[in-house]
Structure 1
């Protein structure tokens, strides 16, 4: 091995010895309690048919986009789609990105300048952390959902200040006090950015729009790879923000744009979302059923969440993996979330509930889990 490979192997061995080594797994026939396909759109025959029809209605569309949007890869279809989605979420404008990671990275790395400040909830998604790191701004984190901690950091802020939170947190599934956070942010003249990746679906418009806050929240991220069953993301905000990102967001400028098929998939997913009342009701009922079936007083707690994401904390990697393996052997696709993805001592199994999960499967899953959470 080369010196570089010896170094890489050492790092991998360290990760294996700590129980944090990751491997890829192919798709399985297990019952899905793992994916972000909350409304079943990714597997929807109806959505697939709508997409096929939309592609057929545009027979001259290309297989690929051929380049970045600033060169050969822009389509009027993409610009019209941005307007449709922005109007749906009650924002003036939006800019499409190839993923939620790209969108957060592009926004935060280009937005704040040297002398400005970015304040992040301590449990914010890695994409926001990485975007903030790439900026030249001062960076602070505040205690999760803690208004007093946020205010203490706001008092330290200099220049233009941006506060970044999620409306539903991807690893805990909980919801912050958005209105309180917005009020304290505005009190100090700061700007709120909300990642809505895991909210849209359970909340068709996202929580920002549902609460009537879109005219006060500086920017919102909506992703299409979760409840909408596709891929990509949009950053919503003012028209001036859209123009700024088009000129300064490197993850937008220097990447090949989405293909027509991807754009058509997004448009048709929004069309289906407009008539997804039954799926949303089923999802809400399944969340309620799961929470009712899990023992609340136990050695290993169920985190407080009313979302599709339900987590039981086992406090170490080995225990979380052990329980996940047991559940997989019983036919349920449940995954362990281990450090360093989550903080040491908060390792867990993460159960994602969907509209298509049956009551029988939820009851069986809960029965098995209950056998171990008091062990």
Structure 2
């Protein structure tokens, strides 16, 4: 045991010495500019009550699924929910996964075979990278949103080729030129996969539907833990894709199914989303208000983003930590994003905006930020 414990201790010590040590922190009473609860669903009393009512109308439902969906854990409610969500997103079919991480892991690790090719935008989520690593495919990454870089990798592709991007990037908050990327992948007969985790809510049905591209996209991953305020995910695509994942996606096959309460929460969140036009308008208004009021000066950069994710690049772990500390001392829950989560030299604070943030909160946040930036110019 001692050599292993020494290994753990040394690795943790290394993180502490480099200033990249991670710790869990409990909830706080600060003004929320940190969570992915873009439309306020996670804190919605209306949604909470509708979930209670839905569970009450199914008194025979179990507390837990008690098995994988291929054994004892499948219920008609789950299959009906998959059809409802697929219809909402104008997709032929969908398959539920217990989390967005599970969805990306199962989708990518099972699809690409030895001799195939996966091409990833360099800024895609860790779950996408991990899913690609678990496959036996050739793997490439291309420069973020760079057509020439993507095309150079497409020219190298062998076998079936899968290109994976996000419709809103989780650490930069920007959106890709989706129409142009899709056209390029079609030119090389590659299948495009779009992770819509952070787009749902900003766009009522995601960016793919917003642009009318749903019939041309091979697969979409939609998660429920951001704007929908719940947990879980769905992979949208053809009936063939759904059946393939049921047979080959290990993160679906070998895990206990989601409990009924989680399924009910997803269903009720979608019902609430259909009546959330005002919340989406408020969210977009708050995004514009924040961008108008923040002044980063010449030394720091506010990344170009029209999403709720607004990032100010502060160029070092020390500066990012200090900015977050000052904001928290002023009652704003803003967190620093440090290397190695982001590339060295792009360390930042990541500000998440919400429909429920007030104009006064946004103004005070901007004033506090501007003072910090001026002080460190």
TM range (shorter): over 0.9
How far apart, in 2, do the equivalents of 1:350 and 1:16 lie? 22
Shift of 1:297: 3.4
Deviations 1:127-156 (A, max 9, x none): 000000000000000000001110000000
How far the C-alpha of 1:298 sits from its partner, in A, is: 3.2
Measured after TM superposition, the shift of residue 50 of structure 1 is 0.7
Task: Indicate if the aligned counterparts of 2:296 and 2:373 stay in contact, CA closer than 8 A.
Answer: no
**2:368 equivalent to 1:368:** yes
Aligned twin of 2:312: 312
Question: In the TM superposition, what whole-angstrom CA distance separates every residue of 1:22-53 from its partner, at most 9, and x where no partner exists?
Answer: 00000000000000000000000000111011
1:172–1:310: 8 Å Cα contact kept in structure 2?
yes
Structure 2 residues without counterparts, runs of 5 or longer:
none
Distance 2:174 2:272 in 1: 26
Aligned residues: 375
Instruction: Give 1:296 shift.
Output: 4.8
What is the correspondence of 1:178-257 to structure 2 with a 5 Å cutoff? Answer: 178-257=178-257
Question: What CA distance in whole angstroms lies between the structure 2 residues aligned with 1:373 and 1:135?
Answer: 44
1:42 is matched with which residue? 42
C-alpha deviation, 1:371, in angstroms:
1.1
| Structure 1, 102-111 or 288-297: larger mean CA deviation | 288-297
Alignment TM-score, normalising by the size of structure 1: 0.99
User: What are the superposed Cα offsets for residues 192-239 of structure 1, whole Å, 9 maximum, x if unpaired?
Assistant: 000000000010110111111111100000000000010000000000
Question: Residues 269-317 of structure 1: CA distance to partner in whole angstroms, max 9, x if unpaired?
Answer: 0000000011101100100000000015331110000000000001111
Partner of 2:33: 33
Cα deviation digits, residues 313-353 of structure 1 (max 9, x gap): 01111110111011111100000000111111110000000
The secondary structure found in structure 2 opposite 1:265 is: helix
Distance 1:9 1:240 in 2: 48
Matching of residue 284 in structure 1 with residue 275 in structure 2: no
Please state whether the residue corresponding to 1:373 is helix, strand or coil: helix
1:274-353 map, 5 Å: 274-353=274-353
* C-alpha contact 1:298 1:373 (8 A) present in aligned 2: no
Aligned match of 2:146 = 146
Name the structure 2 match of 1:83. Answer: 83
Determine helix, strand or coil for the equivalent of 2:350. Answer: strand
Q: Which residue of 1 aligns with 2:11?
A: 11
Question: Equivalent residue of 1:162, what SS?
Answer: strand
Distance 1:229 1:372 in 2: 32
CA contact (8 A) 1:223 1:233 kept: yes
Query: Distance in 2 between the 1:331 and 1:373 partners?
Result: 18
- Distance in 1 (CA, whole Å) between partners of 2:90 and 2:364 is 41
Residue 133 of structure 2 is aligned to residue 133 of structure 1: yes
RMSD of aligned C-alpha atoms? 0.7
After superposing the two structures, state which structure 1 stretch, 363-372 or 153-162, moved more.
363-372
Measure, in 2, the Cα distance between the counterparts of 1:8 and 1:320.
Answer: 27
- The match for 2:167 is 167
- Are 2:272 and 1:272 equivalent residues in the alignment? yes
Is the contact made by 1:300 and 1:313 (CA closer than 8 Å) also made in structure 2? Answer: yes
Q: CA separation in 1, counterparts of 2:373 and 2:162?
A: 40
- Displacement over 3 Å in runs of 4+: none
Query: Secondary structure at 1:174's aligned position in 2?
Result: coil
| Secondary structure of the structure 2 residue equivalent to 1:322 | helix
